[in-house]
Structure 1
Amino acid sequence: MTRERIPDELIEDIRTRFDIVDIVGRYIELKKKGRTYFGLCPFHSEKTPSFAVSAEKQIYHCFGCGSGGNVFSFLMNIEGLNFIEILKNLSDEAGIELSIKEENNEEVQLKKKLIEAHELAAKYYHYILLETEMGKDAYKYLLNRGFTKETIIDYQLGFAPDSFDILKKFLVKRGFEQAQLVEAGLLSKSKNDKYYDRFRNRVMFPIADSQGRVIAFGGRTIGNDEPKYLNTSDTLIYNKSKNLYNLHKARPFIRASGSVLVFEGYIDVISAYQKGINNSIATLGTSLTIEQARIIRRNTEKAYLVYDGDDAGRDAAIRASTVLESEKAEVTIVQLPKGMDPDDFLQKNSLTDFEELIEKGTSRYHLQKQIIRDKYSFDIGEEKVKYAMEILDIIADIEQAPKREYFLKELSKEVNLSEDSLIDELKKKLLKQKNKNIVKKPAQKWNNHINYGKHSHNQSISIIPAYQKAEREILWIMINDAEKGKKLAEKIRANFQYPEHSLLAAKIYSYYEDGITPSISKLLLDFQDQPDICKLLSSLEFQFEQYDKDSNKNIDSTLLIIEKRKLEAELKSLQSELEIATKTGKQDMIVELLKKIQDYQKKIKLLIK
């Protein structure tokens, strides 16, 4: 399926039905500054907001990583879907009929097939649980666990019977190939090439993507099978490190409440739901990853970690808190009574009890501090010093200087040591840590942490070469002032030094020839499948938003920069030719080249004057 088969008018109609600020706001927190909205970029790690969204122009641009475009490109990047899939989703949401032929792309078609298989499997498992004799024991098990029928329906819980081929037969009968189902993670293949159901005798928990489509399963045995929990392995449509259980349901409640509860298991999430807690999610069988932390941070600043009430749960919470804090999240660790998991506590206690537990939550620092404190006796002076040195290691890991200062004062009073002595030791640890990072860590791609709370786009723009900025300026005029743009086109023609500039200029020239008035929105549609051009277009709009297009002085100086750059490039080429001619001893050519070089040098000097 290609873009050309869908009329531009229909695409534009779908685009204009949505406000990019609303769409982006579904994924990240935006704050208005002047006419522009800013937030933390969802496409790279940063500490100050450099991701700009313009309601007026209906575009976005990140001044940190350069990503940019319109509502389509944003959704394509954040959802990992292609243009047609995004167009279809938006048209469905807008109630616009979109008749399109299926894309003849093997990977896209396979993804679609794998999702379809999971959707059918979820419905089939759900049917077996609620409507068949095979599902009765599993249904009783869930009821005994405290799940209501309404909850079972809401979460589409199901049951995979103790059969090697019940799902296989069901899906093969509906046109699915067994090899595809292995790739989907629904079937397994034996050493003698026999296909069989991967999930057997298990209560099934469907795992959905951000759009609510089933892409994987978690299975909990109702017998003595090992492992107790069996999850779908990573597939073409599912990556356990990049997905979070229940996010599609919880997202609006996370936004509304301004916080999220993070559990380790899907049963914990469902138990919380039954208590009226809707802003909860869970990791999927792994420790919290940086990708998951970024997803959480895009939706809220505040996270509560509700892990098991044992040493393993405590250590996992500390690790998860460290990851979330690296993404600038405000983290509280909720400590459950010893030996209890969240499901146990929620089943045996009231919502008020749980809310009180959350209120008593602690920070990672104070939890680690308590663990270390239990190791030492303060009756012995040397033990106090050892304790203080361990705590300083934790303080050194804290990025915010005010927090470090506060905890340092707290520590000084606790161990009765002077702040100055503790500061000296902390400085040593910070220096050691800095040197270690220089050796071990690659150069960062983003510099947002040096902006001290300011948006970084002014710094980002100022460092581009003058001739590159001049070319962009001309492109911006060509897009926004057709009359001047046509005159500039005659003067510039093919003199753009950057390939993406030349490509964009060629498209604008074609607009002129066809009598079409250029616009950012038209160009973004034409270059929808070329991210570099989309980035360029969005950066032009933000870079020159204060530009006075009526000032001829601006244009004249810009043309001089471009002309100078063109002459310098030609001069460099002549100098290379002279070097070759000198080596080969071609005297006539040397004389001719020297004359040309002098002419170009004079032209450049005249331009500078």
Structure 2
Amino acid sequence: MTNISKEKIDEILNKADIVSIISVYVSTHKKGRNFWAVCPFHNDSEPSMSISPEKKIYKCFSCGASGNAIDFVKNFKRVDFITSLIEVAKNAGINLDEIKNSEQRSKHTSQQEKIFEINEQAMNLFKTIIYSIEGVKAMEYLQKRNISKSEIEYWDIGFAAKNIKLYDKLIEKGYEQKQLLAAELITLKDGKVYDYFFDRIIFPIKNEDDKIIGFSARTMEEITPKYVNSRETIVFKKSELAYNINNVLKIINMKKELIVLEGFMDVIALKRIGIENSIALMGTSLSEFHLKLFKKLKSKIILFLDGDGPGVQATLKIAKKLLQQNIKVTIVNNDTKYDPDELINQGKQEILKIMIEKSIHPIKFVIEKLYQENDVSNPDWLKKYLNETFEFIQMSNDLIVNETFLNELAKITNMNIDVIKKYYDAFTNNHHFNTGYQNDEVSKQVVISTPTKKDNLKPKSKNGEAIAENKILVNLLNTNEFLETISNKIDLIGNVDMRLVIEEVIKKYKNHQYAGHDLKKILKLIEESNLDSSIALMDIVTTPLNNIEFTQKSLDDSFLTLEIFKKIKERDELDIRLKEAKDFQIKKSYAKMKDALTKEIMKLEKIRGNK
């Protein structure tokens, strides 16, 4: 456990140059005694953030964002307190022996960290090869696709050559075969080892922490599949891909918009023309991972998928999911039948920028797109068209928006508006849609949202993980006595919504907005923060089980419980992969990893039993 005194933190803040720290992330200029910058925490166009070198603070006079150097780094980079403290301490030239000598917990397991390390080594080899004689063909291909050398360097693009074996190179570096199998960089067949990627251009895929989770490999020949992605590992999940998210997180505070694309070549092309706030889903599926990511970013989503039939259907499906989660979204009406990469390569970047600028409301997109294949003379088609459109309209909680689009429907179908409204009323009576809002009476009882039957955060005797998280939250709501302990171990909180709430409470303490022992005040502060969270706070706070007197020991016990659950989840994940694996060596590797995790769990269980 890391304990850093207030005196040490004050020393760091006093010695750190807040202007130089902030200048790393945004452009600053001196005016009078202070420095000024465009605020990265809201959609700012004119410098409205003042930075005082004397007072060691920053303050935006538009959105109210304020704090010291540690707060800036934490909020800008979306990292925890300790990470931001370390960065500021480096600027101040102060060694943090308290952290160096303590056992720091990583948000990733040792197995995951090892795969990240191996992937990094693999990427370095692929990058070396593309600049060698073996990579000449790949370089020529990329140049034909208008990808420059500077882009190759920026995106860490490489090449997997037939004649250079990745397996041999990594073994020479001291890695074991079982580790390369776990990273899915090799394949065993008939007792022989083969590289998984060969004769393909390699594009690394990174996560939010800038770590390489896997690769996508593009062939240069007219063969299928054109792209081969990494097989699933404990760090690479096909449902959790967001190409370029590592770069987007650095600028999203300033942009406040996120463009969602299908393929990473579209992301690369958009960056080429100065549009940097885009990610690629690496397909057309939107998962729970993406929904949580978008909620956390709190930015408007601009959907820009392909304009063909499948692309339109995927757009409608994704838009519906976003609307159901109350995530603000607009859609690029791509009638060109080309994807963004193709449009840019055709020299139509200005047209593309206008398309993005004029992205439209999902309901307008539905009305226009579904009507293109119309058969108004057919009552069955018309009824189907209206029903599909009504599905989207009823997701809106804005009466003016609904009225506008009902009138537009009447206009496009040449139907009487009264008939349209009557049919819409009948439709909504038979198709109830839960927008996620609640009435005033309910909101008085529950601070953030109404608990549902699916709410897995209510204390249940069988749900030890949820109970541990709830106890930690209630303790934090009451007192800041163990604030640093909770801050340092927050990565063990598995529930994303719970972590959001806990991080917000910690922020209120550190910004001196809350001093503890006033539940009414902190619940009101959280409510005013408008968190995208489904935590039923009032239920948790009023449950006797969660309101036991907290000590350092009981807090440690709760975090120990969470660590055990985290290991169990990792083991269960390995168990699934073990059952799915067909190759004996791979099975053997997974079995060893599973046994190691089981031993770790037993060791932690023994520690808990002895407490």
TMscore range, shorter length: 0.5 to 0.7
8 Å CA contact retained: 2:205, 2:213: yes
Aligned letter for 1:460?
V
Report the alpha carbon displacement of residue 364 of structure 1 after superposing the two structures with TM. 2.7
Give the Cα–Cα distance (whole angstroms) in 1 for the partners of residues 316 and 129 of structure 2: 40
Residues 197 and 358 of structure 1, relative CA distance in 2, 3 Å threshold:
same
Give the Cα–Cα distance (whole angstroms) in 2 for the partners of residues 432 and 138 of structure 1: 58
Aligned residue number for residue 575 of structure 2: none
Give the Cα–Cα distance (whole angstroms) in 2 for the partners of residues 27 and 448 of structure 1: 30
Aligned residue number for residue 341 of structure 2: 343
Residues 321 and 504 of structure 1, relative CA distance in 2, 3 Å threshold:
closer
CA displacement 1:539-560 (0-9 Å, x = unmatched): 974772998xxxxxxxxxxxxx
- The one of 399, 423, 426 equivalent to 1:425 is 423
SS in 1 for 2:301: strand
Residues 258 and 455 of structure 1, relative CA distance in 2, 3 Å threshold:
farther
Gaps of 5+ in 2: 26-37, 45-63, 451-469, 522-543, 549-611
Residues 433 and 58 of structure 1, relative CA distance in 2, 3 Å threshold:
farther
Give the Cα–Cα distance (whole angstroms) in 1 for the partners of residues 327 and 473 of structure 2: 39
8 Å CA contact retained: 2:258, 2:301: yes
Does 2:210 correspond to 1:212?
yes
Report the alpha carbon displacement of residue 340 of structure 1 after superposing the two structures with TM. 1.8
Aligned residue number for residue 152 of structure 1: 152
Residues 74 and 305 of structure 1, relative CA distance in 2, 3 Å threshold:
closer
Larger Rg: 1
Aligned letter for 1:138?
A
8 Å CA contact retained: 1:207, 1:214: yes
8 Å CA contact retained: 1:289, 1:323: no
SS in 1 for 2:233: coil
Does 2:447 correspond to 1:460?
yes
Give the Cα–Cα distance (whole angstroms) in 1 for the partners of residues 474 and 419 of structure 2: 62
Give the Cα–Cα distance (whole angstroms) in 2 for the partners of residues 169 and 91 of structure 1: 41
Report the alpha carbon displacement of residue 357 of structure 1 after superposing the two structures with TM. 2.6
Residues 544 and 321 of structure 1, relative CA distance in 2, 3 Å threshold:
same
Aligned residue number for residue 128 of structure 1: 129
Report the alpha carbon displacement of residue 198 of structure 1 after superposing the two structures with TM. 1.6
Report the alpha carbon displacement of residue 381 of structure 1 after superposing the two structures with TM. 6.8
Aligned residue number for residue 518 of structure 2: 544
8 Å CA contact retained: 1:231, 1:285: no
8 Å CA contact retained: 1:27, 1:298: no
- The one of 257, 260, 268 equivalent to 2:258 is 260
CA displacement 1:414-435 (0-9 Å, x = unmatched): 444444443333233223322x
Give the Cα–Cα distance (whole angstroms) in 2 for the partners of residues 155 and 322 of structure 1: 32
Report the alpha carbon displacement of residue 104 of structure 1 after superposing the two structures with TM. 9.4
Report the alpha carbon displacement of residue 334 of structure 1 after superposing the two structures with TM. 2.1
Residues 94 and 286 of structure 1, relative CA distance in 2, 3 Å threshold:
farther
Does 2:179 correspond to 1:174?
no
CA displacement 1:193-237 (0-9 Å, x = unmatched): 544322111111112222323222111112345421112234333
Residues 18 and 377 of structure 1, relative CA distance in 2, 3 Å threshold:
farther
- Which sits farther off after the overlay, 120-129 or 225-234? 225-234
8 Å CA contact retained: 1:240, 1:285: no
8 Å CA contact retained: 2:43, 2:256: no
Residues 290 and 379 of structure 1, relative CA distance in 2, 3 Å threshold:
same
8 Å CA contact retained: 2:40, 2:76: no
CA displacement 1:74-112 (0-9 Å, x = unmatched): 999x77x9x987876776677654563695989632222
8 Å CA contact retained: 2:476, 2:483: no
Give the Cα–Cα distance (whole angstroms) in 1 for the partners of residues 40 and 238 of structure 2: 19
Give the Cα–Cα distance (whole angstroms) in 1 for the partners of residues 285 and 237 of structure 2: 13
Give the Cα–Cα distance (whole angstroms) in 1 for the partners of residues 486 and 277 of structure 2: 38
Give 1:356-505 correspondences, 5 Å limit: 356-379=354-377, 384=382, 387-434=385-432, 449-450=437-438, 459-460=446-447
8 Å CA contact retained: 2:69, 2:88: no
Aligned residue number for residue 291 of structure 1: 289
Does 2:111 correspond to 1:110?
yes
Give the Cα–Cα distance (whole angstroms) in 2 for the partners of residues 235 and 88 of structure 1: 31
Aligned residue number for residue 581 of structure 1: none
Report the alpha carbon displacement of residue 248 of structure 1 after superposing the two structures with TM. 2.2
Give the Cα–Cα distance (whole angstroms) in 2 for the partners of residues 14 and 168 of structure 1: 46
Aligned letter for 1:236?
I
- Which sits farther off after the overlay, 291-300 or 531-540? 531-540
Residues 153 and 419 of structure 1, relative CA distance in 2, 3 Å threshold:
same
8 Å CA contact retained: 1:15, 1:71: no
CA displacement 1:104-126 (0-9 Å, x = unmatched): 98963222222222222222211
Aligned residue number for residue 240 of structure 2: 242
- Which sits farther off after the overlay, 401-410 or 102-111? 102-111
Aligned letter for 2:128?
Y
CA displacement 1:121-176 (0-9 Å, x = unmatched): 2222111112x11111001110111011111111111111125x722222222222
Give the Cα–Cα distance (whole angstroms) in 2 for the partners of residues 368 and 71 of structure 1: 41
CA displacement 1:354-413 (0-9 Å, x = unmatched): 222324443332333234324443456776556444433442344433322221122234
Residues 373 and 461 of structure 1, relative CA distance in 2, 3 Å threshold:
closer
Aligned residue number for residue 161 of structure 1: 161
For these two proteins, the number of residue pairs brought into alignment is 450
Aligned letter for 2:235?
I
Give the Cα–Cα distance (whole angstroms) in 2 for the partners of residues 351 and 118 of structure 1: 34
Aligned residue number for residue 480 of structure 1: none
SS in 2 for 1:135: helix
- The one of 470, 480, 483 equivalent to 1:524 is 483
8 Å CA contact retained: 1:122, 1:206: yes
Report the alpha carbon displacement of residue 269 of structure 1 after superposing the two structures with TM. 0.9
8 Å CA contact retained: 2:340, 2:352: no
Aligned-pair identity (%): 25
Aligned residue number for residue 334 of structure 1: 332
8 Å CA contact retained: 2:39, 2:254: no
Report the alpha carbon displacement of residue 322 of structure 1 after superposing the two structures with TM. 2.1
8 Å CA contact retained: 1:309, 1:338: yes
SS in 1 for 2:363: helix
Aligned letter for 2:244?
N
Aligned letter for 1:336?
N
Give the Cα–Cα distance (whole angstroms) in 1 for the partners of residues 156 and 118 of structure 2: 15
SS in 2 for 1:241: helix
Does 2:323 correspond to 1:325?
yes
Does 2:138 correspond to 1:138?
yes
